[in-house]
Amino acid sequence: MKTMKAVCIYSYGGPEVLVYEDAPRPHPGAGEVLVRIHAAGINPVDWKIREGQLKTLLPHTFPLVLGWDLSGVVEALGSGLTRLKLGDEVFSRPDILRDGAYAEFIVVKESELALKPKSLDHLHAAALPLAGLTGWQTLFDAGGLSAGQRVLIHAAAGGVGHVAVQLAKWKGAHVIGTAAAKNHEFLRQLGVDQVIDYDTERFEEAVQPVDVVLDAMGGETQERSWKVLKRGGILVSIASPPKAEVAAEHGVRQAFVFTQPNAPQLAEIATLADEGKLKAIVETILPLSDATRGQQLSERGHGRGKIVLRVV
């Protein structure tokens, strides 16, 4: 088989630049694995790259296959590999500078793959890598969140948010989340201790001081978040780099996290899922050929959990 179905872009632009077509099937080199993709998650970074918002940070060449959230099966192995074998079920948030997962096959470095959770099918496993690693790297690596601390998570019902709140609860933190009213009961079921309606409440007036803020919004939400941090606390953003001088004015710290592949962390996330401590919530499932609609839904925001493309 020399070709595969894939969703590519040949230039930056709106949803209309997505093309579902036959594309060359990749082949693994040394240290690489060919994965037959069963499902691919859709994330805001996909359409931000499509629009060209990140072209300075992430210089890509065209044509480009989008999507960096996947679950599938090892189809072929390059040389020098010892950890994985043919037929292994794996999941990954692969290198975002390479072709992505809106395709039937992808080549991924072995160091970016982990065995998928045994308890999850591919559709739900594909919802976890990027959100799980983002939650882990923001809350624990950058934020240093520990048991007994207080954390405010913005957009808590979204793709990253709903996973982050579960990781924070697993760690033993007191979790506060902002969300639309329709998602409040959903968040309470995930264990959120205090839910704030971002349409009707000013979170900075409703929240007692917290140790960590996870900002997925940027802009005004980020600016208002400085006020809710304890002295010495930290604002961690995945939306836009917080200003160090503003953090210093408030006596707090700041960090910007762009999620990185990490197989050991993915393995821990898989264990939590298999132990029933972490759920992957999939709101919408679409065929690979309908990736355009999936990105349009993602751009609208206010969703619950993840949007996933079914490939197999």
- Does residue 215 sit in the same domain as residue 240? yes
Instruction: Name the pLDDT band for 8 (thresholds 50, 70, 90).
Output: very high
Q: How many domains does the chain have?
A: 2
- Burial, 206: exposed, middle or buried (Cβ in 10 Å; 0-12, 13-18, 19+)? middle
Instruction: Encode pLDDT of 127-172 as tens digits.
Output: 999 999 999 999 999 999 999 999 999 999 999 999 999 999 999 9
Given this model, what pLDDT does residue 194 score? 98
In this structure, the answer to whether residues 21 and 116 fall within a common structural domain is: yes
Q: Are residues 212 and 100 in the same domain?
A: no
Between CA 151 and CA 160 the distance in angstroms is 15
Burial 73-94 (b: 16+ CB within 10 A, else e): bbbebbeebeebeeebbbbbbb
Whether residues 121 and 165 share a domain: the answer is no
Shared domain check, 18 and 51: yes
Please write the tens of the pLDDT for every residue from 68-93.
999 999 999 999 998 999 999 999 99
Confidence tier at 302 by pLDDT (50, 70, 90): confident
Look at residues 77, 155, 83, 89 and name the one whose alpha carbon lies nearest to residue 126. Answer: 89
Read off the CATH number of the domain in which 195 is found: 3.40.50.720
Domain range for 209 is 131-256
Residue 263 lies in a domain: no
Residue 8 placed within a domain = yes
In the predicted model, what is the mean pLDDT of the chain? 97
Q: What is the pLDDT of residue 295?
A: 97
pLDDT of residue 303: 84
Report pLDDT for 36.
Answer: 98
pLDDT tens for 247-296 read 999 999 999 999 999 999 999 999 999 999 999 999 999 999 999 999 99
Is residue 299 predicted with pLDDT exceeding 90?
A: yes
What pTM did the predictor assign? Answer: 0.97
138 plus 53 within the same structural domain: no
